[in-house]
Structure 1
Amino acid sequence: MDKAIQELYGGRIRIRACGILIHEEKILLLNHSGLNSENTFWNMPGGGVEENETAEQAVAREFREEVGLDIHVERLVFLQEYINDSLHAIELYFEVSSLSKKAILGFDPELNILTDLDWKTFVEIKKLPNNQKSKFWESFLTFNDLVSHKPTLNLLHG
């Protein structure tokens, strides 16, 4: 893991809000560098909740920054605790919608580790090596499981 990432986000518990945007049975993902030796880690747009900001406001802000889209937050789908070395996060995954699907690669203002964006099918995501995607995907066997899921807590570590 990149030292700059550990210095910026490590040693504290961080609340992250992420958005699941689906279009034509594909999910919008961003590649993040510095999280493993391959510099390949795909996850939904999202990031830290700031002071005096709701989780819903945070995910909307993150979408504007990272993919240039205005979104509407529909519902909480999943809550996951992530612990890896000095990183510890509580991650809230929301289903979101957007009138536009013309995403562009934006930036992460704290530490720009975003390198690519792509719309991937559920099957493509499931085929990625485990260290190149969020443990979020372990909780869903099919695309239908994801879209029909009722909110739950996932305490997977690592």
Structure 2
Amino acid sequence: MEKWVGAAAVCINSQNELLMVKQGKQTEAHSWSVPSGGLERNETFEECCIRELYEETGYIGHIKKPLFVKEADFQNIDVVVHYYLVDIIGGKMTIQDPDQLIHAIAWQSRKDIEVLYLSFPEDREFLHHMLQQSECL
């Protein structure tokens, strides 16, 4: 079985909104996800997370803490994704994706997350929980 490994950035702003990107190939339905992507050669998961955040959104991030590792079987591909809580420390919102798969960037509220068409629907409960937790801080 083929294996894909990568990292994902979970960024929450002061208005308790989650940074998300609308992604997909030109020929497929576009869906929303946290900034994420595949691990490159000689790259750590943390470096991958920060690079993907910058490429997809234009924001510079700093990893606050690791959250969890998701392992799944997606269309006969063994997928492993390391999720990190990331603070935005610079940059500006702009799509810089070299793969041309990102079509929009937006800060999404808890209410938005409930109805968005997600790339990974299994993340909805986790993302909702992260925003709910953030409200308590």
| TM-score clears 0.5 | yes
Q: TM-score range by the shorter chain?
A: 0.7 to 0.9
Shift of 1:112: 2.1
TM-score, normalising length from structure 1? 0.72
The one-letter code matched in structure 1 to 2:72 is Y
Question: What CA RMSD, in Å, does the superposition of the two structures yield over aligned residues?
Answer: 2.5
Find out whether 1:77 has 2:67 as its counterpart.
yes
CA-CA distance at 1:42 after TM superposition: 0.7
TM-score, structure 2 as length reference:
0.82
Matches within 5 A, 1:135-154: 135-139=122-126, 142=129, 143-145=131-133
Shift of 1:19: 0.3
Number of positions where the alignment pairs a residue of Structure 1 with one of Structure 2:
133
Aligned residue number for residue 21 of structure 2: 30
Unpaired segments ≥5 residues, structure 2:
none
Where do 1:76-155 residues align within 5 Å?
Answer: 76-100=66-90, 102-107=92-97, 109=98, 111-129=99-117, 132-134=118-120, 135-139=122-126, 142=129, 143-145=131-133
Distance 1:66 1:139, change over 3 A: closer
Matched residue type, 1:124: D
State the secondary structure of the residue aligned to 1:65.
helix
Task: Please point out which of 12, 19, 24 is paired with 2:9.
Answer: 19
Query: Does the CA contact (< 8 Å) of 1:140 and 1:146 recur in 2?
Result: no
Higher mean C-alpha displacement, 11-20 vs 138-147: 138-147
Residues 96-145 of structure 1 show CA distances to partners (whole Å, capped at 9, x for unaligned) of 011237321221x3x3211111110122112224xx34212234654224
Return the alpha-carbon distance in structure 1 between the equivalents of residues 123 and 3 of structure 2.
18
Structure 1 stretches of 4+ moved >2 Å: 34-37, 99-102, 138-148
- Structure 1 Cα separation of the partners of residues 21 and 41 of structure 2: 25
Identify unmatched segments of 5+ residues in structure 1: 1-10, 149-158
Q: CA deviation at 1:40?
A: 2.2
Counterpart-to-counterpart distance in 2, 1:35 and 1:81: 27
Shift, 1:75, TM fit = 0.7
